[in-house]
Amino acid sequence: MAQPAVVAKGLSKRFEVARRGAGVGAALRALFRRETEVVDAVVDLSLSIEAGERVGLLGPNGAGKTTTLKMLAGLLHPTGGSLEVVGYEPRRRSPDFLRSIAMVMGHKRQLSWDLPAIDTFELHRVVYDIGREDYRRRLDQLVTLLRVSEIIHKPVRTLSLGERMKCELVAALLHGPRVLFLDEPTLGMDVSMQLALRDFIRAYNEEHGATVVLTSHYMEDVAALCPRIVVIDGGALRFDGGLGELTRRIRPRRRIRVAADRIPELAALSELGAVIERHAGSLVLDVEPGAIERVVPELLALPGSRDLEVRDAPLEEVMRELFDRPTEERG
- 104-129 in b/e form (b: 16+ CB < 10 A) is bbbeebebeeeebbbbbbeebbeeee
Pairing of strands 6-19, 35-49: antiparallel
> Residue 299: is its pLDDT beyond 80?
yes
Q: Which domains are delineated in the chain?
A: 6-247 (3.40.50.300), 252-311 (3.30.70)
Residue % of the chain over a pLDDT of 90? 51
- What is the pLDDT at residue 107? 72
Dump pLDDT digits (tens) for 187-239. 777 788 888 888 889 988 998 899 999 998 888 889 889 999 999 988 899 99
Burial of 161: CB neighbours in 10 Å, binned 0-12, 13-18, 19+: middle
Higher pLDDT, 129 or 145: 129
Which residues share a beta bridge with 11?
A: 45
The pLDDT of 134-145, averaged and rounded, is 91
- What is the pLDDT at residue 140? 92
Cα three-residue angle 162-216-151, rounded to 5 degrees: 15
Residue 330 banded pLDDT, cuts 50, 70, 90: low
* Separation of alpha carbons 240 and 99, rounded Å: 28
The pLDDT of 7-35, averaged and rounded, is 80
* Separation of alpha carbons 111 and 127, rounded Å: 14
- Nearest CA to 198 out of 208, 209, 212 is that of 212
Higher pLDDT, 14 or 17: 14
Q: What is the DSSP letter of 3?
A: P
What's the mean pLDDT when you consider all of the chain? 88
- What is the pLDDT at residue 145? 83
* Separation of alpha carbons 158 and 22, rounded Å: 40
Looking at residue 210, its amino acid is A
> Residue 169: is its pLDDT beyond 80?
yes
- What is the pLDDT at residue 328? 53
- What is the pLDDT at residue 194? 85
Q: Judge whether 64 and 41 are in contact, CB under 8 Å.
A: yes
* Separation of alpha carbons 196 and 192, rounded Å: 6
> Residue 171: is its pLDDT beyond 80?
yes
* Separation of alpha carbons 304 and 166, rounded Å: 45
Dump pLDDT digits (tens) for 22-71. 777 767 776 777 777 888 899 999 999 999 999 999 988 888 898 999 99
- What is the pLDDT at residue 313? 87
- What is the pLDDT at residue 280? 86
- What is the pLDDT at residue 279? 87
- What is the pLDDT at residue 331? 54
Hey, what long-range contacts does 206-209 have (CB within 8 A, 24 or more apart)? 208/176, 209/51, 209/52, 209/178
* Separation of alpha carbons 287 and 272, rounded Å: 7
- What is the pLDDT at residue 46? 95
- 55-86 in b/e form (b: 16+ CB < 10 A) is bbbbbbeebbbbbbbbbbbbbbebeebebbbb
* Separation of alpha carbons 47 and 4, rounded Å: 10
Torsion sign, CA atoms 193, 70, 86, 226? negative
Phi, psi dihedral angles at 109 (to 5 degrees): -135, 145
Dump pLDDT digits (tens) for 242-280. 988 988 888 899 999 999 998 888 878 888 888 888 888
> Residue 177: is its pLDDT beyond 80?
yes
Instruction: Count CB neighbours of 133 within 10 A.
Output: 8
What's the predicted TM-score (pTM) here? 0.84
The pLDDT of 302-306, averaged and rounded, is 92
Residue 1 banded pLDDT, cuts 50, 70, 90: low
- Beta-carbon contacts of residue 100 (< 8 Å; ≥ 6 apart): 85, 86, 88, 177, 178, 179
